[in-house]
Amino acid sequence: MNASEKADVVIIGGGVTGTAILRELSKYELKCILVEKELDIASETTKANSAILHAGFDAKQGSMKAKMNVAGNRLYHELKQELDLDIEWTGSLVVATDAVEMETVKELFTRGRENSVEGLEIWSAEQVLKTEPNLSQEVKGALWAPTAGVCWPFGMAIAFAENAVINGAEIVRNCTVEGLDVVDGKICGVRTSQGTIKAKYVINAAGVHADEISRLAGDNSFTIHPRKGEYVLFDKTAREQMVKGIIFPTPSKTSKGILVCTTTHGNTFVGPNAQDMDDDDKEDTAVTPQGMQEILSSARKLLPNIPVGAAITEFSGIRAVSSTGDFILGESEKVSGLIQAAGIQSPGLTSAPAIAEYITSIVLKKEPDIQKKANFKRNRPKHKMFHRLSHEEQAELVRENKLYGRVICRCETITEGEIMDAIHRPCGGCTVDGVKRRTRAGMGRCQGGFCGPRITQILSRELGIPVTAVRKESADSQMFYEKDQKNGGNA
């Protein structure tokens, strides 16, 4: 980035919300720059969530969560083909195990109808167990929502980002916001670790740090509280003992509950729990033995025979809980040109494309002369997923490019060709975890034990940097210790 850049719009935050907004704005004749403090996009909340596209029955009627959820779900049905998104429309079940919980199920059914969710049904215990035979025999019934689905969550953010870049938007990574310039009550620039960007509008999509960004401009009208959720992920071999779709318990006041859910790649997970953290713990994603036991104990209420030996990893994410209890969407009342997209907790992933349309409409109302791009490219190049191709298609791909014949990740059958593509695509991966999120290399049973060193070598070669400069995730996630070369040390 130049020392002093100019833009019409600067977006702060490279999660699924920020990248969706960038993609929507890239449809118009606007210069848009997204800044992300990490080395890669989708590195925080977007990388560690339940990956569920919610139907929209849970949120309070009339809330922004309810409106954005239902609209976003519908938009993803259109975007799936347009952006080559990895989505399976599995439907979801909210399962009751006693009469009190069945009353909650009925309330959710009514709320969902009020929120205009389509196709909702209340199922009997027999219907539930016919669909999900591994569930507890204590099941009394459930709410069936056919429009729900599972997705590849960071794949969503990456798709939005790639398409935005193809259409002329810019993404600057490893770029920390240090200040916001406000003159006469109007935003006019963003000071970053890579220079200042003059801008007419700043969109605050900074996740758990959105309140801090807002305060930099003098708007302290809301706070963001971190709530951690831990998960346990199971190997694909456990699927027959787990579930086929999305299984929710009846929700509590603070959480949708510890659920059991499939993924688009054949794994299953249980989680998350809900741990309210201190406000200075927004980066604490550590998992704990206590958290794992809480998750497994709660999940056994719905799925009694969880194959714990098939667990392959634990992870956690931080949810951005707003002081308002709802999404915070709209222009700041204190600073003209500062547009908030804050407090985006569940159902934020589902809501992202609808939030993007909503935020873009605010910019367009203030800039009525802005025109749509005549040459906007709606699609992005499709990923070549080697393991999902037929043998004939695989052979043809290897004939075209021999790198697709070199399997780097044996657990997931990910080839060097796919890794090369992930590095060199628009907004490509530049870290080991960045490659993992784009290809699944390292997400299998061995969790990168075999393929990790080879991926590091490929990144070093393709980025033209020493192996010791390759990072796992963040700028300080060094994987190698380099001795002092002046003393004759080696890496």
> Which residues have a catalytic role annotated?
54
Other CB atoms within 10 Å distance of the CB of residue 130:
10
Contact 353, 72 (CB under 8 A): yes
Q: At CA 273, angle to CA 267 and CA 279, rounded to 5?
A: 125
Gap between the Cα atoms of 371 and 277, Å rounded: 44
Gap between the Cα atoms of 129 and 465, Å rounded: 54
Residue 320 carries which side chain, given as an amino acid letter?
A
Gap between the Cα atoms of 156 and 325, Å rounded: 25
Sequence-separated (6 or more) residues with CB below 8 Å from residue 126: none
Q: What sign does the CA torsion over 26, 30, 36, 39 have?
A: positive
Our measurement of the distance from residue 334's CA atom to the centroid of its chain's CA atoms, rounded to an integer in Å, reads 30
Contact 467, 474 (CB under 8 A): no
| Residues 231-266 as b or e (16 or more Cβ within 10 Å = b) | bbbbbbebbeebbebbbbbbeeeebbbbbbbbbbbe
The runs of H, that is alpha helices, within 218-374 are 289-299, 348-366
Residue 120, φ and ψ in degrees, nearest 5: -65, 140
- β-strands 52-53, 92-96: how paired? unpaired
- Closest among 14, 21, 27 to 154, alpha carbons compared: 14
Sequence-separated (6 or more) residues with CB below 8 Å from residue 488: none
